[in-house]
Chains A and B, each alone.
Chain A
Amino acid sequence: MANSFTCNIVSAEDSIFSGTVEMVVAAGIMGDLGILPGHTPLLTELQPGPVRVIHDGGKEENFFVSGGFMEVQPTIVTILADAATRASDLDEAAAEEARQQALKAFNEKSSELDYTRAAAELAEAVAQLRTIQQLRKKAGKG
């Protein structure tokens, strides 16, 4: 049996990644998921957070998705992200600023609509920081 499968990551604006991989690790709504070849069909919502892709040959690549869906078929994984970026393109300062701003809006909560939006923004900013910190930790180890 083949020990690799196809993975497509697309966001509403662009195709982020498409290729053959050995494993995909994503933050599902009910916890992190590691997908290996031959996984049973699965559909899940994704939390804002990192998606780790391990290429054929063991090279790793990190992406950040701000929520979306993941479909798993035995030979193909499709991630439909609301917005996705390569983790290396993430800017820690910008993420921190977004978090501060979201927190501020969160505390002010002038109306119901703003409140839910602020909560979503906060979750996203925190997830971005989480991705960066994970990357940083790995870089420190390696």
Chain B
Amino acid sequence: MAAAKEIRTQIGSIKNTQKITSAMEMVAASKMRKAQDLMKAGQPYAKQIRNVVGHIADANPEYKHDYMVERSEVKRVGYIVVSTDRGLCGGLNVNLFKAVVKDAVVWKQQDAELDFCALGSKAGAFFRNYGGNLVAAKSGLGESPSVEGLIGSIKVMLEAYDAGRIDRLFVVYNEFVNTMTQRPVVRQLLPLSSDMGEDAKHDEENARPGSWDYLYEPDAKALLDSLLVRFIESQVYQAVVENGACEQAARMIAMKSATDNAGNLIDDLEMVYNKARQAAITQEISEIVGGASAV
């Protein structure tokens, strides 16, 4: 019965693991709802400010903000990479880093160097190994990240852009398609491009690119300075909350499949255990019968 006992302990330990994974699944499911609400709440603002900035990029402003000017030579590229703080969420972070690396290789071929800003501890760990220049890192954003918590890291990148240390800025995060699907996206933040607004196509007939300008109050420089910084902050914030929703969804799916796999493993082991038990009983009976006939 030695083998049978071993199998029993194994089943016991798998059952314990299954309990943990199924608990984590349920926790992730409830956190996902909250994260999704947070994501949805921020969407209108992010979308409208993107439209507005898209309009500005279409206009012919009296004052060309530094963020609106395409730089002829790209020597250094900055990435703000939004990852999770914790693991056990399937391939979410790995897929994201793959997307970054794929994009970065293209820039490397054009002799551009890379700067990274890692939001979330997983990105920090990855880029320390990857070898890029990690200029800012922030982790421990929690389940309801605040814009204030992000401002510091964003500022580092914006200052680098202002000073001409980087010539392009991207944000990389997971886009929440639905609970089952999360897609890594690389979106350009700076310089601004006019196809940013989602209604850019839609009002093409009444858009007259480059032929009009706004009235500005108080004045163009002060207004654009604060508006564009606000824009970048809102886009990064939105990326962080959307990635948060992805994290919980991915964790829920990962834990669900872990629980299912544990169930399958237990079924298989129980089959083996029953066979071993049956074999032991049969052997005992035949020994008794053999013994009785010998007497």
Listed residue (A30, A44, A75) with the most chain B CB atoms within 10 angstroms of its CB: A44
Contact of A43 among B42, B206, B227 (CB under 8 A): B227
In the bound complex, residues from chain B placing their C-beta under 8 Å from that of A12 are 42, 45, 147, 234
Q: With an 8 A cutoff between CB atoms, is B216 at the interface?
A: yes
Chain B positions 12-57 with a Cβ under 8 Å from a chain A Cβ: 41-42, 44-45, 48-49, 51-52, 55-56
Contact in complex: A13, B42 (CB < 8 Å) = yes
**CA of A73 to CA of B59, assembled, Å:** 11
Contact in complex: B215, A80 (CB < 8 Å) = no
- 1/0 per position for A1-23, CB-CB distance to B under 8 A? 00000001011111100000000
Contact in complex: B215, A40 (CB < 8 Å) = yes
Chief secondary structure at chain A's binding surface:
strand
Contact of A41 among B42, B51, B215 (CB under 8 A): B215
Q: How large is the interface on A (under 10, 10 to 19, 20 to 34, 35 or more residues)?
A: 20 to 34
Contact in complex: A78, B217 (CB < 8 Å) = no
Chain B residue, CB-CB nearest to A30: B217
Q: With an 8 A cutoff between CB atoms, is A114 at the interface?
A: no
- 1/0 per position for B49-77, CB-CB distance to A under 8 A? 10110011001000000000000000000
In the bound complex, residues from chain A placing their C-beta under 8 Å from that of B230 are 69, 80
In the bound complex, residues from chain A placing their C-beta under 8 Å from that of B56 are 43
Contact in complex: A14, B41 (CB < 8 Å) = yes
A-B contact count (CB 8 A): 66
Contact in complex: B217, A80 (CB < 8 Å) = no
Q: With an 8 A cutoff between CB atoms, is A92 at the interface?
A: no
Output the least CB separation between A11 and chain B (Å): 7
Listed residue (A14, A30, A43) with the most chain B CB atoms within 10 angstroms of its CB: A43
**CA of A14 to CA of B52, assembled, Å:** 17
**CA of A28 to CA of B56, assembled, Å:** 19
In the bound complex, residues from chain A placing their C-beta under 8 Å from that of B130 are none
Output the least CB separation between B146 and chain A (Å): 10
In the bound complex, residues from chain B placing their C-beta under 8 Å from that of A91 are none
**CA of A69 to CA of B51, assembled, Å:** 13
Chain B residue, CB-CB nearest to A42: B215
Output the least CB separation between B261 and chain A (Å): 40
Q: With an 8 A cutoff between CB atoms, is A71 at the interface?
A: yes
In the bound complex, residues from chain B placing their C-beta under 8 Å from that of A80 are 45, 48-49, 52, 230
Contact in complex: A29, B41 (CB < 8 Å) = no
In the bound complex, residues from chain B placing their C-beta under 8 Å from that of A10 are 44-45, 48
Q: With an 8 A cutoff between CB atoms, is B213 at the interface?
A: yes
Output the least CB separation between A34 and chain B (Å): 14
Tell me the A residues contacting B by CB distance below 8 Å. 8, 10-15, 28-30, 40-45, 69, 71, 73-75, 78, 80
5 sampled A-B residue pairs with Cβ under 8 A? A13-B41, A43-B56, A45-B226, A78-B52, A80-B45
